[in-house]
Structure 1
Amino acid sequence: MKINLNNIAISIEKDQDKTIKNEIIHRGIAPENIERIDYLKRSIDSRKKSEIRFVYNLEITLKNPVKDLHKDFLMPKEILEEERVPKKDLGKIAVIGTGPAGLFAALRLCQHGFKPVIFERGEMVDDRDKSIDTFYATDILNPNSNIQFGEGGAGTYSDGKLNTRIRSGYINRVFLELVSAGAQEEILWSYKPHVGTDILKVVVKNIREKIKAMGGEFHFNTLVENIIILDNKVKALEIVDKFGSRDKVPFDHVILGVGHSARDTYRMLHRNGVFMENKAFAVGARIEHPRRDIDEMQYGKSMNHPLLEAATYNLAYNNREEERGIFSFCMCPGGVIVNAASEQGGTLVNGMSYSTRNGEFSNSALVVGVKENEFGDHLFSGMEFQEQLERKTFELVNNYGALAQNTLDFLNDKTTTRELKSSYPMRMKNYDLNNLFPEVISKNMKSAMKYWEKTQRNFIGKNANLIAPETRTSAPVRITRNEFGESLNIKGLFPVGEGAGYAGGIVSAAVDGMRIVDLAFTDSKN
């Protein structure tokens, strides 16, 4: 017999396992009848700094059934998974991109008995590592294999955060697949689950091998240069490998799982008449602190407690007059800031952390919402705005690198004169970011920062620095599709994930890939 017990709050100063068991016994369960206790969820309540608590949702397995249970106990909800039957005679299926959307779409296809062919412009993850190390050491960028492109997509070089705002029955499937491929089991119950770049590299390799064992076929270092469309229907892909050899391969269906940085792909789709639309996004900078400052901000005197990991935060500020949000995004506790360039002559930053999250610094994007058509009224105006910021930064740094400024100096419109300490591995140039961003961006960043200076200890000050620019928070366009995930005007084309404009992180992208496969390539058995 299994029962659930939710919202059990326990001080971090107490023995967690012993106190959990006592809470169960206190509600009438005999200790000898408890076979197993599992976490369904564990979160941290740090609102009261003097008494930080873990909050648990539990599943208790009993050796013998119990009648007249205490009112706090709940019976587990049965999750009924809909059975799907693969459609017949669908022909050849291609998947473009091995980010979360493409990888999980390919996996789902294989689970239904299909044998997809997967194309990835970048390298397998081990070779991708070498290309990134070479870039950091020499400034020689591989535009097809970098922080944005390559096996696992941009998510591989991130914190590996798995928290998501979406609700979907596919989420549990994604988590179980990740654990099966080598991710930590704690992601199944942690309130803010994360994997870490070091472990994600292993996970994506294992998922690739699983797909291959089920009949999937991978082609790395292979750029899809064009999609051949006749009579508004996908017919073939034009591909080019790293040696420059070209080929045309016929396909009946194409799942398009490119990331939000595939600007050349967006332009190719536009030339082919694929329906797309502008989409809101956000730009700003990375804000970086010594990890100890963020730990103190969130945990107070408990910051060094052995049960507490590096602290996270999630801040938001609303400019009601402009109906514009300013917010932290992709917070990397104990992490590093990385160069996320993917185009020659343009430079930008992103955040990353490893599974231990034990680095000296913590960083997060601090970004301002950009509305559709705010910097122009054509399809790629938002994308071109991103490109302009990246090229301007490259010119100011005189190579790949980043611009840096202390938060207090930013608020006072002056260039920082001292050398700033940072986790960033490449060159930094001190610069007044008020001269980098349009006024609408810098003004709103200042408004939010002045508010947080008053409300969040340590967040704005001499130890808090901005590293810029952060331009690729999400896709600036959306590839429009119908309720089955198919392009509105091109038969056989299925845009999925972040790059298509339908997801905002690893989990939501993976869910989107799996869900669209089920909708488009299978029927309900019921």
Structure 2
Amino acid sequence: MIEISQIPVSLDEGMTEAGCLDICRQAARKLLGCGARDIAHIELHRKSVDARKKRDVHFVLSARVRLRTPAQEKAALAHVPAARASHVRPVEDAEPTFPVPLHASVLPAARPVVVGAGCAGLFCALTLAEAGLAPLLIERGEAAAARTAAIERFVRTRELDPESNIQFGLGGAGTFSDGKLNTGTKNDAHRLILETMVDAGAPRDILWDAKPHVGSDILPTVVAHIARRIEQLGGEVRFGCRMVDIERTSSGAPCAILVEQSASAPERIRADRLVLACGHSARDVFELLVRRGMAVERKTFAMGVRIEHLQADIDRAQYGPAAGHPALGAAPYKLVAHLPQGRNVFTFCMCPGGEVVAAASEPGGVVVNGASLNARAGRNANAALLVNVNPGDLPGDDPLAGIELQRRCERAAFELAGGDFRAPAQLVGDFIARRPSTSCGRIAPTYPLGVTWCALDETLPAPIVDTLRAGIPALAGKLRGFDDTEAVLTGVETRSSSPVTIVRDRSCVAVGAPGLYPCGEGAGYAGGIMSAATDGIRCARALIADLVADSA
């Protein structure tokens, strides 16, 4: 197979997959010196927006082409002009797959147990199920439909379900987010993850879009389909099932877990092979691990606020005169500024055409996050605006000190905003000028439970507030209008990443606990949907490799 990259196409020509493929066929025939009948297969591999010149915003494509014979492909590669040779290369035709079922002699006496049905846990359990291991996947929150109902009930009544909410439930925190699937890392599993999600109901364009996303209106269907697939392969998925203890042998290895489900008595489940994919908000699990003597360490995390602009303003800043073209959709951004005082301010989880969501998982605390539907058609753009918190910023030596800091900020936000899950909010102009806000301007906040206008300084540590205040003008130098005085800041964003690492070795096994595999974002080894799913597959493969080695 041959990959051809850097194929330009106009916005009008690139509106559809068919239009992009027509342009790619033309490029292939010209570059490879072949006829239409010589092309046995062609597929769109990548599509990105080139907006460096605002008067010439266009798409850039790459395609993968298979000619009828290997000899034809070899001859075609030799035909490529020297000036374009760097944009044409042979690639392997093989695609990564899930493991085949293990031989009966390898199967363990007890099925592996996966704790947490976020992206890491789902793809870990799916990989184990494909290998014939019939895993048990437990999730403290509810399945997709019941979880959606719990979130809607919270918005309607302000009655928070601490077990089923934006953070907990099938698909994890990523289910009710923008559903971005782009990642800064490369891994053979990425294509497998994307294809699995398309098979489960995600839009096909995630297979080639340079910045793929699914949307919170489609993700619940996708994760429900994956859960059903695990069950079809012989696994079991239990919702409303919370792990409350881990039993370990004298060697430190897990041997059982204790779970609570509904009003039933606690149940002991054998768990010789245990994957902890519990998510960054499973604070009770981190506390349990420390009590049980597991190796848990502080790690760098981030806190800050959500910032909202009019999406139309972001579109104009990013695309110039092309803003609003139907082929482009709502413009995203990703920004970072390195400040003289040694801290960085950056945006994260930017949600084009989205809304700020109520992401609390504990009574008495306000947490905000962002989400978009697949169409990204909302009036506002929002993003997390964050500052890193380093282990050295925290007092003492408690590995859970970052969690305590998160809680303090969430409670401060709750109390400042009135104690009913409204969120504290401030206009950028007022924040920079150090004065409380009293109302919004042309940008109405989207947080669904309402906001209380105030000064946000009381909700976050002074170094974070000072860095945000210095960082907003710096980021405006990279994106025109970012410092719009009427842009809305809503607090607090505390759950962008885990404040702890459950320490594991190179084989994904927890230090001092053979048979236990810390996994995903909560364990400190991922930072989004794709990286979490990838780590889930990685841990499953490590578990399978250990089973094979033990049976040899």
Q: Which bin holds the TM-score, normalised by the shorter protein?
A: over 0.9
Shift of 1:218: 1.4
What amino acid does structure 2 have at the position aligned with 1:494? Y
Distance in 2 between residues matched to 1:227 and 1:483, nearest whole Å = 23
Distance in 1 between residues matched to 2:479 and 2:374, nearest whole Å = 26
Query: What residue number does 2:350 align with?
Result: 331
What amino acid does structure 2 have at the position aligned with 1:196? G
Change (3 A) 1:477 1:260: same
Change (3 A) 1:81 1:358: closer
Change (3 A) 1:32 1:173: closer
Change (3 A) 1:376 1:84: farther
1:316 partnered with 2:336: yes
Distance in 2 between residues matched to 1:509 and 1:177, nearest whole Å = 15
From 105, 108, 131, the equivalent of 2:127 is 108
Aligned residues: 523
Shift of 1:451: 1.4
Query: What residue number does 2:3 align with?
Result: 4
Shift of 1:244: 5.0
User: Does structure 1 retain, via aligned residues, the 8 Å contact 2:101–2:132?
Assistant: no
User: Does structure 1 retain, via aligned residues, the 8 Å contact 2:39–2:65?
Assistant: yes
Equivalent runs, 1:44-123 vs 2, <5 Å: 44-63=49-68, 65=72, 67=75, 68-71=78-81, 72=85, 73-79=88-94, 86=102, 87-89=106-108, 91-123=110-142
Query: What residue number does 1:396 align with?
Result: 416
Shift of 1:423: 1.7
User: Does structure 2 retain, via aligned residues, the 8 Å contact 1:404–1:465?
Assistant: yes
Query: What residue number does 1:436 align with?
Result: 459
Change (3 A) 1:494 1:389: same
Deviations 1:54-83 (A, max 9, x none): 111111244573634324442223447597
- TM-score normalized with structure 1 length: 0.95
Query: What residue number does 1:490 align with?
Result: 513
User: Does structure 1 retain, via aligned residues, the 8 Å contact 2:177–2:370?
Assistant: yes
Shift of 1:91: 2.7
User: Does structure 1 retain, via aligned residues, the 8 Å contact 2:142–2:169?
Assistant: yes
Once the two structures are overlaid, the 10-residue window that deviates more, 473-482 or 233-242, is: 233-242
Shift of 1:24: 3.1
Change (3 A) 1:328 1:466: same
Shift of 1:14: 4.8
User: Does structure 1 retain, via aligned residues, the 8 Å contact 2:438–2:454?
Assistant: no
What amino acid does structure 1 have at the position aligned with 2:494? T
Equivalent runs, 1:145-184 vs 2, <5 Å: 145-184=164-203
Change (3 A) 1:37 1:162: same
What amino acid does structure 2 have at the position aligned with 1:258? C
Partner of 2:527: helix, strand, or coil?
coil
Deviations 1:331-376 (A, max 9, x none): 1101111010000111110000111111111110000011013122
From 414, 421, 428, the equivalent of 1:407 is 428
Query: What residue number does 1:235 align with?
Result: 255
Instruction: Give 5+ residue unaligned stretches, structure 1.
Output: none
User: Does structure 1 retain, via aligned residues, the 8 Å contact 2:273–2:543?
Assistant: no
Distance in 2 between residues matched to 1:84 and 1:127, nearest whole Å = 33
Deviations 1:246-275 (A, max 9, x none): 222222111111010000111011111111
1:467 partnered with 2:467: no
Query: What residue number does 1:296 align with?
Result: 316
Query: What residue number does 2:273 align with?
Result: 253
Query: What residue number does 1:198 align with?
Result: 217
Distance in 2 between residues matched to 1:91 and 1:203, nearest whole Å = 29
Distance in 1 between residues matched to 2:122 and 2:12, nearest whole Å = 42
Shift of 1:84: 7.4
Deviations 1:286-316 (A, max 9, x none): 0111111111111111111121111000000
Partner of 1:98: helix, strand, or coil?
coil
Once the two structures are overlaid, the 10-residue window that deviates more, 414-423 or 375-384, is: 414-423
Shift of 1:325: 2.0
Shift of 1:485: 1.1
What amino acid does structure 1 have at the position aligned with 2:487? A
User: Does structure 2 retain, via aligned residues, the 8 Å contact 1:281–1:369?
Assistant: yes
From 417, 423, 434, the equivalent of 2:446 is 423
1:479 partnered with 2:484: no
Query: What residue number does 2:45 align with?
Result: 40
User: Does structure 1 retain, via aligned residues, the 8 Å contact 2:526–2:535?
Assistant: yes
Deviations 1:435-456 (A, max 9, x none): 3222210111122111123442
Shift of 1:279: 0.3
Query: What residue number does 2:150 align with?
Result: 131
Partner of 1:134: helix, strand, or coil?
helix
Once the two structures are overlaid, the 10-residue window that deviates more, 14-23 or 310-319, is: 14-23
User: Does structure 1 retain, via aligned residues, the 8 Å contact 2:254–2:274?
Assistant: yes
Distance in 1 between residues matched to 2:473 and 2:352, nearest whole Å = 22
Shift of 1:505: 0.6
Distance in 2 between residues matched to 1:13 and 1:240, nearest whole Å = 56
Distance in 1 between residues matched to 2:267 and 2:297, nearest whole Å = 30
Distance in 2 between residues matched to 1:260 and 1:230, nearest whole Å = 27
Instruction: Give 5+ residue unaligned stretches, structure 2.
Output: none
What amino acid does structure 2 have at the position aligned with 1:265? V
User: Does structure 1 retain, via aligned residues, the 8 Å contact 2:45–2:63?
Assistant: yes
Distance in 1 between residues matched to 2:119 and 2:68, nearest whole Å = 40
Distance in 2 between residues matched to 1:139 and 1:242, nearest whole Å = 22
Distance in 2 between residues matched to 1:80 and 1:203, nearest whole Å = 22
Shift of 1:32: 4.6
